[in-house]
Amino acid sequence: MVERTISDVLTKPDAALEMTLRPSLFSEFTGQAKVKERLEITVAAAKQRNEAIDHVLLSGPSGLGKTTLANIIAKAMGANLKNTSGPTIEKAGDLAGLLTNLEPGDVLFIDEIHRLQKTIEEYLYPAMEDFKLDIIIDQGPNARSVRLNLPRFTLIGATTRSGLLTAPLLTRFGVCERLDYYQAEQLQQIVVRSARLLNIEIEEAGAWEIARRSRGTPRIANNLLRRVRDYAQVRGDGKITAPVADKALAILEIDENGLDEMDKRILDAIIAKFGGGPVGVGSLAVAVGEEPDTLEEVYEPYLIMEGYLKRTSQGRVATELSYKKLGLKPSSANQPGLL
């Protein structure tokens, strides 16, 4: 079975390690300069007014720091942070329990907020806007509505797919920020910092080799650092140099552009099995043995950003760069410019 390093990192992060490496202050947070500056101003202004900050929506691909920023905001506000996620809130009572246990100024962080059920989402509207919660007691003729007053709190939502949020929910967030992929130089700084915290000896060139293959994602960079550390410990003297990092990443089947085995399987399937596309995400998922959601949220964003893949109304299409990557020559019928 193929070792799906990138998928495992993005969908199953090491919680204990992330807490160790996660920055706790805005000054320690690398990258996302404009987003960070706007959030710092928002927090500073709220603290001067002695108010809870407006509700915040953080969107962007997995592993870029949405949860980290939520923790930083809560700490900067001197507030308690309560964590949950959209899929775990299965009924209105779950949400009511979370909201009624909040203290004034607390931060409620809902990860994957786009996966909230629509009926539950409607309970959030008055809670976010008026800090009131309407709950139904009993059923049938005895049913009655009770309105509970909530303390002023801040809801921070994180989503990888902001387009799935309904307009009523989206408009209730006073602050909406999107996180973008990191530059290799920024990831190099993150790798060096993480290596220092983990007591790993690393050269700048070794950190750069890891950073440039990390798909613009800090979570992947930190995971690859651990894997390269293991290789350096077993096959070397424990020090991460550029050659050591290159050999370690070659074993992990991560090439110079950050593409792993699954990326290449996706491109190969589109070209070899579907004639270069277009192909629907459902058919592509079956062809490569992966879930459609994982393809859309984990693999496609990077492949599209790097120009290997195009998403059209008919489906996914391999670009000329994909053919070059696999050492193939596109036929005239599949030239990207003629689609």
Catalytic positions: 66-67, 111, 160, 219
Angle, in degrees to the nearest 10, between helices 218-235 and 242-251: 100
**Dihedral sign of CA atoms 296, 300, 305, 311 in order:** negative
Cβ–Cβ < 8 Å for 221, 208: no
| DSSP E strands, 55-120 | 56-59, 81-85, 107-111
b/e sequence 158-189, b meaning 16+ C-beta within 10 Å: bbbebeebeeebeebbebbbebebbeeebbbb
List of residues 6+ apart from 89 with CB closer than 8 A: 95, 98, 110, 116, 117, 120
Spatial separation of the C-alpha atoms in residues 134 and 130, rounded to whole Å? 11
Spatial separation of the C-alpha atoms in residues 226 and 215, rounded to whole Å? 16
DSSP string, 122-191: HHHHHHHHTSEEEEEESSGGG-EEEEEE----EEEEEES-GGGS-HHHHTT-SEEEE--PPPHHHHHHHH
Spatial separation of the C-alpha atoms in residues 212 and 257, rounded to whole Å? 7
Q: Which residues pair with 107 in a beta bridge?
A: 81, 154
Spatial separation of the C-alpha atoms in residues 315 and 278, rounded to whole Å? 5
b/e sequence 42-81, b meaning 16+ C-beta within 10 Å: bbeebeeeeebbbbbbbbbbbbbbbbbbbbbbbebbebeb
